[in-house]
Chain A
Amino acid sequence: MTKFKFEPIFHLAKRTDIDWKKSWGIRLAAFILSILACAVVSTLISDRSFGFFFENFFKAFNTPQKLWNFFHDTAILLIIALAVTPCFKMRFWNIGGEGQILMGALGSAVIITFMGGKYPDPATIILSLVLSLAFGIVWAVIPALFKAKWNTNETLLTLMMNYISVCIVDYFIKSEASSGTGTMSFDKGVVGPIGNNEFILKIILVAIVTIFMVVYLRYSKHGYELAVVGESEKTARYIGINTKKVIVRTLILCGAICGLIGFMLVSATNHSINTASTVAGKGFTGVLISWLGHFNPLGMLLCSFLFVFIDRGATQVSTYARLGASYPDMMTGIFFFFIVATEFFINYKILPTHHFKKKAKAEEVEEDTTETEQTEDVLAETVPTLNENVVEDTNSAVTEAEDTATPVVENTKEVE
Chain B
Amino acid sequence: MEFTNVIEMVGITKAFGSNYANKNVNLDVRKGEILSILGENGSGKTTLMNMLAGIYFPDEGKIFVNGQEAIIRSPLDAFNYGIGMIHQHFKLVDLFTACDNIILGEKHSFDFKGAVEKIKAENDGTDKGKFLTVLKYMALPFVAGFDKAKFNLLGRKRAKKLQAEVDKYGFQLDLSRKIYDLSVSEKQTVEIIKVLYRGAEILILDEPTAVLTPQEIEKLFDVLRKMKEDGKSIIIITHKLNEVMAISDRVAILRKGEHIATVNTAETTERELTEMMVGSKVELNINRSEPGRPIPRLMVEGLTLKNMEGYYALKDVTFTARAGEIFGIAGIAGSGQRELLETIAGLYRPEHGDIYYVDPDDDDNEIDLKKKTPAQIRELGVRLSFVPEDRLGMGLVGNMDLTDNVMLRSYGKGHSLFLDRKSPKKVAQDIVDELAVATPSIKTPVRRLSGGNIQKVLVGREIASAPTVFMAAYPVRGLDIGASYTIYNLLNAQKEQGVSVIFVGEDLDVLLALCDRIMVLCDGQVSGIVDARTASKEEIGYMMTSLGGVDKSQNQEKGDENND
Interface residues of A (CB under 8 A from B): 1-2, 4-8, 13, 15-16, 219-222, 224, 227-228, 231-232, 234-235, 237-242, 353, 355, 371, 373-375, 377-378, 381-382, 407-416
Contacts and interface: CB of A to CB of B under 8 A. Distances in A.
B56, B76, B81, B345 — which one has the most chain A CB atoms within 10 A of its CB? B56
A221 B419 contact: yes
A231 B399 contact: yes
- The residue among A227, A374, A410, A416 with the most chain B CB atoms within 10 A of its own CB is A416
B408 A235 contact: yes
6 contacts: A5-B73, A231-B397, A237-B394, A238-B374, A355-B58, A375-B75
Given A7-B57, A240-B373, A373 B76 contact: yes
Contacts of B73: 5, 7-8, 371, 373-374
Nearest to A412: B17
Interface residues of B, number: 63
Q: 10 closest A-B pairs (Cβ-Cβ)?
A: A240-B375, A240-B374, A410-B17, A2-B80, A231-B397, A234-B394, A413-B17, A413-B16, A373-B74, A412-B17
Interface stretch (B125-133, B148-156, B448-456, B529-537): B448-456
A75 to B, nearest CB: 26
Contacts of A224: 404, 407, 411, 419
A221 B419 CA distance: 5
A377 B55 contact: yes
Contacts of B429: none
The secondary structure that dominates the B interface is loop
A238 B17 CA distance: 34
A355 B60 contact: yes
A294 to B, nearest CB: 12
A415 B346 contact: no
Contacts of B58: 355
Contacts, number: 141
Given A227-B397, A377-B50, 7 more contacts: A220-B419, A237-B374, A238-B388, A240-B374, A377-B56, A408-B15, A414-B449
A378 B16 CA distance: 12
From B19, B54, B373, B386, residue with most partner A Cβ within 10 Å:
B19
Contacts of B404: 224
B489 to A, nearest CB: 21
Nearest to B21: A413
Contacts of A13: 17
Given A2-B77, A4-B71, A409-B18, A16 B448 contact: yes
B74 A411 contact: no
Interface in B51-106: 54-60, 68, 71, 73-77, 80-81
Nearest to B13: A407
A375 B19 CA distance: 22
A246 to B, nearest CB: 12
Given A235-B393, A410-B18, A415-B438, A221 B450 contact: no
Contacts of B449: 414-415
Interface in B433-452: 438-440, 444, 448-450
Contacts of B3: none
Given A7-B71, A237-B347, A239-B409, A378 B55 contact: yes
B42 interface: yes
B378 interface: yes
B528 interface: no
